[in-house]
Amino acid sequence: MTTMPYRRLGRSGVKVSALSLGSWVTYGNQVGVDAALECMTAAYDAGVNFFDNAEVYAKGQSEVIMGEALAKAGWRRSSYLVSTKFYWGLHDGVNEKATLNRKYLLQGIDASLERLKLDYVDLVYCHRPDPETTIEETVHAMHDIVTSGRAVYWGTSEWSAEEIAQAWHVADRRNMHKPVTEQPQYNLFHRDRVEREYARLYRDVGLGTTTWSPLASGLLTGKYNDGIPAGSRGTIKGYEWLVERVTDPAKLSVVRQLAPIARELGCTLAQLAIAWCLVNPNVSSVITGASRASQIAENLKAIDVAGSLTPEVMARIDAVLAARSPA
């Protein structure tokens, strides 16, 4: 049986499971409360202790579904972590969308907690940087959210290294709660930010990362090798933008070339892709998605596969990627 490893979230004292479960796309679009509870229970029983969400996912319904599932599960609150994120907003008001202003953040966290049926979240992220609100205002608001007990830690998502460093130093100078983690996209096709841009932050401020899209929106599963299958994310209303991304000929060629490596290791392409993310020591947790409990079990096998990714195997993977023609 696979044993779940746990990793410190940056320099914080809390530990997160190496694999976590996110609700983007699935909850509210493909998954209701019962299916969410089934998936979350399968993950929790296997050692997953971190469940990721965001205000904007399914326009708030993702939080509602996760909140209902958590209430039904009845787990000890100290045994798991829940996150949410703010920036995109749920309404079109001038101060309610694409912003990190203080008013929006303080009202947003209260609304999210109500939807999640929780007294607090463990992690609250600034879902994107806001060029119109000063870093000082945003840092102060996040500090107050943590100080008020509505969140335990705060972090950023898809911020540049410069923006993260600026926020960290603002908090440091003012003796406020600092951002402890970043949530960036990270997969075989999207590497530069995590591996190069953030390199100094790991050393200088102990940045943690909870990475998303390890399968590149499903591309790295191989299921798009012959087109868009029925029932896949590429067929979901509102996710038409995925079609061009998952049908890129150069990337599909890479996926096909990775298949023999996966076969030699006795794993699926998806497990290879997730395991590859896990090998990076600067990754605190890899956020995975699932609409069925069986997918949870399959994803968890990536933990064992990671142990088989020797330097030689990693070099072979890099060689395949290096040979990819420009997209």
So which residues are the catalytic ones? 57
The answer to whether the beta carbons of residues 44 and 77 sit under 8 Å apart is no
In contact, 286 and 271? CB cutoff 8 Å: no
Long-range pairs for 297-301: beta carbons < 8 A, 24 or more residues apart: 297/42, 297/46, 298/268, 298/270, 298/271, 299/19, 299/270, 299/271, 299/274, 300/2, 300/4, 300/19, 300/46, 301/2, 301/267, 301/271
Q: What is the CA radius of gyration of the chain?
A: 19
Closest CA to 52 of 81, 26, 86, 30: 81
Cα separation, 232 vs 247, in Å, equals: 13
